[in-house]
Amino acid sequence: MEVRFVKIVLADNVWILVATALVFLMSIPGLALFYGGLTRTKNVLNTIMMVFSAFALV
C-alpha cells in the first residue's frame, strides 16, 4: 500500500484564518443587534453593551 502525503498550501490556511476572523467580527454585533431587538426600546443600549462586555470577558 502506497502512502501519499498531502501538500499543505499556505494560501488555503490563510484564507481559513481570514474567513474565521471575519465571522468572529460579524457575530458580535449580530448577536448584539439580535438581543437588542428582543428587548424594549429603553433597554436596547444596555443589552448591546452587555453582549459586548460578555465577549470582552471571553
pLDDT tens, per residue, the chain with 58 residues: 788 888 888 999 999 999 999 999 999 999 999 999 999 999 999 999 999 999 999 8
Is residue 50 situated within a structural domain?
yes
Distance CA(36)–CA(45), nearest Å, equals 7
Number of independent structural domains in the chain: 1
Residue 31: predicted pLDDT: 92
Q: Are 51 and 28 a contacting pair, CB within 8 Å?
A: yes
pTM of the model: 0.65
The pLDDT, as a whole number, for residue 2 is: 81
Q: What pLDDT is stored for residue 9 in this prediction?
A: 87
Domain annotation covers residue 1: no
pLDDT score of 58: 80
27 lies in which domain range? Answer: 10-57
Whether 23 is in a domain gets the answer yes
